[in-house]
Structure 1
Amino acid sequence: MSLEIKNLSYAVDQFQFSEINLTITDETYFILLGPTGSGKSSLLKCILGINQIKTGEIFIDGKSIANLTVEKRNIGYLPQNCALFPHLDVQENINFGMRIRNYPETKIKERTGQLLSLFNIEHLANRSTRNLSGGEKQKVSLARALATRPALLLLDEPFSAVDEGTKKRLWFDLKKVFKTVKVPVIHVTHNFEEAYSMAEQIGIMVDGSLRQIADAQTLFERPATKKVAWFLNYRNFFSGEVKEENAGIYTINSHGINIVFTSKTELSGKISLCIRPQDIKIINPAYPVKAELADNVYEGIIRDMILYPESAIVFVKVDGSSSDDYDFELKFPLYILSRHNLHEQKRIKIALWQPNIIVFKD
């Protein structure tokens, strides 16, 4: 089974997206990740047939579905609110789609039993959906979406109404389910942990544009554009004219801060770079500086701090900088505060982990 989208465009009111191209093959679990309002749910509804596309083509297994009605596209869909039928019990919800398609009774009973077992909810078969927990409702909704053996499954923020503990357990349970169910999935979310834990491929959608598609590790470690990097919580952006010092070794000077980095491709003119807050390290004078840090060591003062239950954000203004506020944002586990006795106005030495500096050509 496969999905192919070619040059798809859509517009409503002030929002639009265009030239969306996407191919999902076999049983790929594809997550569409992006900020609220970026067009993720709108794209799902275009694939489903709820939204009318302006231009482009949508193919399932090589056959165009762009002009088919919703019910003829053979797509399973789970909206954000589950949309279970409150007047039906669990098994009646699951087999609803089969009944309106006039499946034989033996097939309905067999398929319903398979799905109750697959999702480990046999004990809920006769229970009213009003009396289900959030996690149970999600399992019933997914079972219903899979009941008619769709060619594609679309999940729109499937865990948004579930508490954190239940949510993470569902990730684990559903990964096992989808190893059994041979169907490609497009799963919309804005949750990074959810995407990283479940996806085989991730697409980043920002401002109505599909900016990057990659496996989770590549995408989170090597964002392709500044907008993708910003969405993925990269900070510490700098721009300047690049200067080659040696073969493959470059520098830029931004606001009086000199940054050394490497590149396998030849660079010239103005470029931008960034580094994640967690890739900036605090230097302990009692220990030698690692080679990956040695080219970008700075001294400065802590301007501000934000404390969370398990982590801390520290803002540092370095010596010689022409910026008005702070230059670097650091993030690390909370215990680092006490290890280095960190507090506002303390002078510290920091360094950039050079292999994780990301470069963008302006």
Structure 2
Amino acid sequence: MLGTAGLTKRLGDFTLDDVDLTVADGEYFVILGPTGAGKTILLETLAGIYSPDAGTIALDNRDITRTDPKDRGIGMVYQDYMLFPHLTVGENIGFGLKQRKAEPARIRESVQETAALLGIGHLLHRTTGTLSGGEQQRAAIARALALRPRVLLLDEPLSALDTVTRERLRRELKAIHRTTGTTVIHITHHFEDIFALADRVAVMQDGRIVQTGTPDEVFRRPATEFVAAFTGMENVYCGVSRVRNGEATIDLGEIVVRTVTAIEGDVCVGIRPEEVILSRQPFESSAANTFSGTVAEIRQNGMFSRVVVDTGLPFVAVLTRQSVARLGLVEGEPANVTFKASAVHVFKR
């Protein structure tokens, strides 16, 4: 439905580099990456704010690479809302339709309908300076949706909001997407957005897309060491894999990990913290990977605790506070680590 081929844009020292992207009709597509990866530049190039130096953009099998932004059928919402302070909420929502010289009756109808969808119908008479952050973001999204775009681009729309408002608006975005069927491309650095909203995810690094897949594929089967580390896999180590009859032993220097893979030679392995099981007592288990060590650190992180056990390599596990207390885990005391062979993800170094 929306696709790019070899999309390249140079801005100063930064280059959006040879981006190939395909987004399906009605898909909620999330782009993830660190600051400076090129996420916003990619969205702005799709929207027509920048003209690419090379490559093409197609929407509904129509080349829109050089099409004027107002004629693309693409709406964009920024993190900082960019509402007009001298206009009311209703006037902001209807602004684009007024610019297109739509009939006043149609503008009123669209404003009322879109505002109701976002739950801000009672705010239409207010000026934007009197709104909360969440209300301003709803107004900005309503302004974009009033134009009935084929694609809605969201540039970190939840980042400036407090936790409670962010969770509420996240649920509303999911409901809006379900109701309208609009194709959405949403950039974020909040992992919660991905699991709550995304059909598929792309990860960007230094102006390139380095992996695309479902949230589960990207988080559990990262394609590179960068993706593994960025998505919070944490337990990422490199070594040498030797495969026999489909079973691999991977020498990480201090320990040897066993798993099932066909990848040989120089590799990295990743184990997500939630896959690591801890105990004070030796495990009576058939798990392929069991190691003894010492609790190096216990750090509280909200509802959960991050526990590091040094087995020669530091393994990170995530447990509830109650589990830490029940297991009797104490810094400096012995502990055992285990994880299944299936929890070990292997990728080429």
The two structures share one fold, judged by TM-score above 0.5: yes
- Residues 209 and 26 (structure 1 numbering): CA distance in 2 closer, same or farther, change over 3 Å? same
Residue in 2 that maps onto 1:103: 102
Unmatched runs of 5 consecutive residues or more in structure 1? none
**Residue of structure 1 in register with 2:274 after alignment:** 278
Q: Which runs of 5+ in 2 are unaligned?
A: none
Report the counterpart of residue 57 of structure 1 in structure 2. Answer: 56
Looking at structure 1, the residues matched to 299 and 253 of structure 2 have their Cα atoms a distance apart, in angstroms, of: 24
The answer to whether 1:302 aligns with 2:288 is no
Question: Counterparts in 2 of 1:226-305, with a 5 A limit?
Answer: 226-245=225-244, 247-263=245-261, 266-283=262-279, 285=281, 288-289=284-285, 291=286, 294-305=287-298
Deviation for aligned residue 1:287: 6.6
Q: Go from structure 1 to structure 2 and tell me whether the alpha carbon gap of 1:90 and 1:342 turns closer, same or farther (over 3 Å shift).
A: same
Match of residue 334, structure 2, among 333, 343, 347 = 347
> Aligned pair in 2 of structure 1 residues 234, 345: CA closer, same or farther (>3 Å)?
same
RMSD over aligned Cα, in angstroms? Answer: 1.6
Q: Shift in Å at residue 315 of structure 1?
A: 2.2
SS of residue in 2 equivalent to 1:20: strand
User: Are 1:334 and 2:321 matched, yes or no?
Assistant: yes
Q: Assess if the C-alpha contact under 8 Å between 1:315 and 1:328 holds in 2.
A: yes
Does the 8 Å contact 1:272/1:359 carry over to 2?
Answer: yes
Distance in 1 between the 2:266 and 2:308 partners?
26
Which AA in structure 1 matches 2:172? Answer: D
Amino acid in structure 2 at the alignment position of 1:355: S
Q: Distance in 1 between matches of 2:60 and 2:263?
A: 42
What secondary structure sits across from 1:88 in the alignment?
coil
Question: How far apart in 1 are the matches of 2:282 and 2:157?
Answer: 49
Shift of 1:283: 3.0
For residues 124-163 of structure 1, what are the structure 2 equivalents within 5 Å?
A: 124-163=123-162
CA distance in 2, matches of 1:239, 1:87: 57
Residue matched to 2:76: 77
8 Å contact from structure 2 (residues 2, 60) kept in 1? yes
User: Partners in 2 of 1:259 and 1:341 — Cα distance?
Assistant: 26
Contact 2:9 2:51 in 1 (8 A): yes
CA offset at residue 354 of structure 1?
2.1
Shift of 1:239: 2.2
Alpha-carbon separation, structure 1, partners of 2:99 and 2:147: 11
Structure 1 contact 32–205 (Cα < 8 Å) conserved: yes
CA distance in 2, matches of 1:287, 1:45: 53
Q: Which amino acid aligns with 1:275?
A: I
Aligned to 1:184: 183
Distance in 2 of aligned mates of 1:73 and 1:271: 44
For the residue of structure 2 that corresponds to 1:242, the secondary structure is strand
Q: Report the AA paired with residue 194 of structure 2.
A: A
Residues 265-319 of structure 1: per-residue CA shift (max 9 Å, x gap): x332222211112211113538732x3xx2211111122232222222222222x
Relative to 1, partners in 2 of residues 1:236 and 1:120: Cα closer, same or farther, differing over 3 Å?
Answer: closer
In the superposition, the TM-score normalised over structure 1's length comes to: 0.92
Q: Is the 8 A contact 1:281 1:350 kept in 2?
A: yes
For residues 312-331 of structure 1, give each alpha carbon's deviation from its aligned partner in whole angstroms, at most 9, with x where no partner exists.
2222222xx4xxxx532222
Are 1:361 and 2:312 counterparts?
A: no
User: 2:65 aligned with 1:43, yes or no?
Assistant: no
Query: Residue 86 of structure 1 corresponds to which residue in structure 2?
Result: 85
Change (3 A) 1:199 1:84: same
**Which amino acid is 2:215 matched to?**
A
* Alignment check: 8 A CA contact 1:116 1:143 kept: yes
Q: Report the secondary structure of 1:178's partner residue.
A: helix
The letter of the residue matching 2:264 is: S
CA distance in 2, matches of 1:121, 1:64: 36
Identity of aligned residues (%): 34
Post-superposition offset of 1:243: 2.0
Paired position in structure 2 for 1:170: 169
Matched-pair contact (CA < 8 Å) for 1:281–1:353:
no
8 Å CA contact 2:81–2:140 kept in 1: the answer is yes
CA drift of 1:210 comes to: 0.7
How many Å apart are 1:166 and its aligned residue?
0.8
* Mapped partners of 1:308, 1:361: distance in 2: 32
Q: How many residues align?
A: 349
Identify the residue that residue 308 of structure 2 maps to in structure 1: 315
TM-score normalised to the size of structure 2?
Answer: 0.95
Q: What residue identity is the alignment partner of 1:327?
A: P
Instruction: Output the CA distance in 2 between the equivalents of 1:44 and 1:302.
Output: 45
- The one-letter amino acid paired with 2:164 is G
